[in-house]
Amino acid sequence: MSNERVNEVDEGAAFLSEIEQRRGGRITFKTFSTFYADSLGNVRDYGVFLYMVDGTFFFQDFEHESTFLGFKLRKRKDEPEYVMFEGSFSPLEVVSFRTVNKKAARNCALGFREFAKLRKANPVLGFFTETATEIKLKDGRTMYFQFMDKSVRNIVNQMQNDDKGENNGCIQSL
């Protein structure tokens, strides 16, 4: 293994260890979403790292450095200073999941479209357009993630089934 690869592995392990110390528990699940938006107006086009500690999902974004052909580009003078974005939710707070058009979800988060008018994505058109997973919470918040698979949905369903009993715990999937 090259020295560069060893350094990346060491940095990754140190990063995960720091999260576990900060959260006071072990990371039991981790994934990456290539897009994040929510009903509070937050949009992260470069995605977020999502992980679980002690039965709660946490997520955070990363500073994105622009590159061209592998070379870092200088920041624009008017570019705002990066401030890390973090959030969390309990799987037991989830009311529903559905798949929506990513561009429409982004426009809702930015205030260009009403959330009430956002429809479920057409499965056939999903082959030609990007989609996002909509997660609605009991407190009214709505979040949009672009996951590679359904592992988060499966974990939420399992935890809700364990909490409420096998028949009553399934969340609504629209």
pLDDT in tens, 101-110: 999 999 989 9
Q: Residue 167: is its pLDDT beyond 50?
A: no
What pLDDT score was predicted for residue 35?
Answer: 93
Q: Is 37 in contact with 106 (CB distance < 8 Å)?
A: yes
Provide the strand spans (E) within 24-141: 27-33, 36-38, 43-44, 48-53, 56-60, 67-68, 71-72, 86-89, 94-101, 131-137
Can you name the residues that pair with 71 across neighbouring β-strands?
A: 68
Residue 169 has pLDDT above 70, yes or no: no
pLDDT given for residue 122 in this prediction: 75
Is residue 26 pLDDT above 80, yes or no?
yes
pLDDT for res 174: 44
The pLDDT, as a whole number, for residue 5 is 54
CA distance 122 to 143: 19
| 15 pLDDT tier (thresholds 50, 70, 90) | confident
Residue 64, pLDDT > 70, answer no
How many helices and strands (H and E) does the chain possess? 3, 12
Which is more confident, 10 or 39?
Answer: 39
Looking at residue 121, its pLDDT comes to: 80
pLDDT confidence bin for 2, thresholds 50/70/90? low
Q: pLDDT category, 170, cuts 50, 70, 90?
A: very low
Query: What is the pLDDT at residue 173?
Result: 47
Question: Which domains are assigned to the chain?
Answer: 26-173 (2.30.29.30)
Average pLDDT of the chain, as a whole number: 83
Q: What is the identity of the amino acid at 34?
A: T
